[in-house]
Amino acid sequence: MRAWDTAAVNYRHGFHAGNHADVLKHVVLLSVCARLMRKPGACFALDTHAGRGLYALDGAQAARTREADSGVRRLDSLASKLPALLRYREAIAACRAQHGPQAYPGSPWLLAHALRVQDRIACCELQPGEADILRANFRHDRRLVVHQRDGYAALPALLPPRTATDRFARGLVLIDPPYEAQLDEFDAALAALREGLGRWPQGVFLLWYPIKQGRALARFYRRSAQLPAASVFCAELLVREDDSPLRMNGSGVLLLNPPWQLDAELQPALSILRDALGEAGAQSRLEWLRAAA
């Protein structure tokens, strides 16, 4: 049995690997990485809720929910050549070539795939079993360090990022919590963003969030627009009507200090994902909550 196919934790992302939320989050993440790679200087990436980094879509957890069937598997025959979607599909193909046709990459794997030899990655995972699997999956990658600790609490320790001899001017922070206590999690995530921006104001920050009923997020949008970032936008994908508080009807990624013209790259990709993954009532949205001055 593969080490990345079993673990016992409270929140088990293996049940949801490759679903529509993963597709959105990972398309956005890879697009941010690609724009950061356009300059030669070293970058730093922090993943605050990393999980194990690699999943099996034919494993017991994913097979029980089959969420990937309405997510990543619907893109196997996608013909679009849009850079954001092509980049994502090429990363999936690279993961499958390395780990088998049923593998699906988590954000640590995608960061390791997208970044370069001079870049560094810090991954936080609180659950001991998941952290052990994450270490095993990346034991040969000297760029990536696993911290078994709460990702929110790690922000003051890990930001601003630096080595023994240098300080990283560029990079990103991905915050992808489980939202088990949804309202409290939004508050914690926004506080973490404020803390992170205070310590690393030039960093690109990404926060993934679930959408059950869109109208319930009005306070979240208002507070996000007040964060001390140069600019803020959200990219959202609803795969069905957001009319039920009992299920995840879509998700979004909040971006703080997004790279230049990232919105122009993501906008058409969101429309294609809406058509490919959506049911009746599906929507996509990219909205600036605060544009750069």
Of 69, 176, 184, 243, the active-site residue reads 176
pLDDT digits (tens, 9 = 90+) for 236-275: 999 999 887 778 999 999 999 999 999 999 999 999 999 9
Residue 264's contacts (CB-CB under 8 Å, 6 or more residues apart) are none
Is 176 annotated in the active site?
A: yes
Instruction: Give CA angle at 140 (135, 141), nearest 5°.
Output: 85
Q: Is the pTM of this model over 0.95?
A: no
* Domains by residue range for the chain, with CATH: 8-290 (3.40.50.150)
Closest CA to 206 of 16, 25, 19: 25
Closest CA to 17 of 106, 137, 124, 125: 106
- In percent, the amount of the chain with pLDDT more than 70 equals 93
pLDDT digits (tens, 9 = 90+) for 108-155: 999 999 999 999 999 999 999 999 999 999 999 999 999 999 999 999
**pLDDT band of 8, cuts 50, 70, 90:** very low
